[in-house]
Structure 1
């Protein structure tokens, strides 16, 4: 009996030891799982350098993401309204890293991405402070010095800022006045007498070197070109020769003609200033006169036709004829109840390439009669206008004119005998009911006196005109 009890106690202690061992194992496993969880979390982060194999080049967006997800375990999130799953993506076939594939998707579609754990989220704009991972290894970035921007300086300004060029010791410094705008250095003293023109010329066996630096010359045949600007120097060797043996020089009988041509070129500076200040803004003068350049007359002929409107007359077909700086004006004005002819003159100055300022003065008369049986009374209206207008050139032919005007309207009443009658305000208003006279929208002054009724006001004028371009000639 004692032995049976001892066996029972041994069995219980064995079971207890087994349970303790199992409990220790469970605790060790739990501790190991807890310790391994951060490592698993880190392992679940997307590995952008992992290689994926693509079966083809043209794949649907959803199919491409499914292939990458199966091979890498990454998950994708995107807005299907902005990025349709059925869109075809042109990606390189074969093996590539996830980072390179995402870079190709961004280059082809413009879609950026950001990474959150094991998720790759597609977004519209790049995340702030984040840049997509590069497929290339990091390289050392070296900063380069910033190259200053090249400032283009007009050639005329360059001519004034160039340093002086000193001639070498073997080159004399006697300047030929006919070429002084072009030459930096000349060669010899003029000593030989020209047999035709009677002027000093160099010997036939000598030569000189000219340095062309740009600019313009009043001498016929010398013209500035871009290739000979002051930034570049062209060296020309001109041999000395006698004009009697030179077949290219006209004979002595053409001396008067040559002097006339030289005088014309000497006046080109004044003509250029006149043209730039008062000439037509539609036809700009040629900057240089050469063999192939077009020529403009200093008094360009102006012919503009257009239509304008103001505060009293809604339709004003107008014709401007003359020169750009002085022209005549003729128009027919109507407000659909009254119409009259107007005439006057205008002057203008050029402000810039496409803007001009006009000062125009016009006048016109309107006469209306009212009769009872055989008796007739008359109202006469004289409307004067002084307008200051700005003109904007819209194209080669069309321009827009607009501005303010000062208006003065004189109204006079003539009775049945044709005699002028000075009426006061009440009498004039009573007689005006029998006529359909034009009325300004408001008045600065409204006076009644011995000369009639005088009204003044400030109005506006706006019109569009077509330029005939009659001044152009080739």
Structure 2
């Protein structure tokens, strides 16, 4: 009995001693982590770290997609260095709670950068740290003492808010209203843009004669004294008032505001913005199963452009025209859907009668484009082809010939022939051939003059 009692007492003492240790367990930022490769999915990377260190992770998958590819160097590194590389690559901040690492989109209060090497003792007086700048903000330039202001004509129903030019201001991210301005944390005279801005018709820039004058800013609402004193309406308030955006509207916004915009460098620095409806102008040469040389010009917008080409196989040549559309894919890829048509016409003179052959060639192509640099790109894909051949007499009247007569007539003309056919039908409307072909070409992407 005494032995049993002693055993129970020893077990209780061991549990009591182990409980505080487990309760106080924290993430060891100096623990080494081994990464197997340089390009890993974000969720796979967190799984590898969790298995090696026992740390647990939490993140908002709407803002940080788990399928995003993170490119880090392979090999061993400390947890502190790995978290710093993740923050530098993705712009994600983190906070530590025990053995739990929580990813957040804003820096935690009082957060200090994690040092990848042992900190050195500083005896000199340390200046106050500069305010943190979120990774997606980018400083454009320092404003001169006299600031440009936006003059808005007042011939429409608006409310005007006035902000002092001595206070730095920034344009809100993903906000189509020019008046949605907010003051940054620091009062330095700088203009920051948080994701691109759009120009509104009816406004123009001018120089103020006095730097202490106010800047008029358009704010949606009625032009009343009450509205002038109200702050701009936030996106959250607008969503609550108007209800959720319809699925069709969201799809259209995604298509026209994301997929069909091209970057345009802003004058004065290396930053860029996305312009909707940017012009597309590509010139190049391609080849297919029937025509060996096809100089081609594509002009329009990325979501809708015209196509013009001259096709030749050194025996026959003809002009082709049509239209195309494209969508952007990851990693500098783009997918095109193109439809073109063209007509080949030949005549044969028998000294007494003139016969004419007309060939109508329709092509529907699905093309993948890969950028090879700033200007060149490679396009290639498959196409569905339909070729209609018809014969006409000397008066220009269509001749409804049977199969044997059309085959006999074809010997007098240089008829384009596909390498094979899916179908080859003869009827009262003429000879119709269909087949699946290919198309491969290289194009030069011309950059039209950018907006100043």
Per the normalisation by structure 2, the TM-score is 0.50
Larger helix proportion, structure 1 or 2?
A: 1
Per the normalisation by structure 1, the TM-score is 0.48
Larger strand proportion, structure 1 or 2?
A: 2
Whose Rg is larger?
A: 1
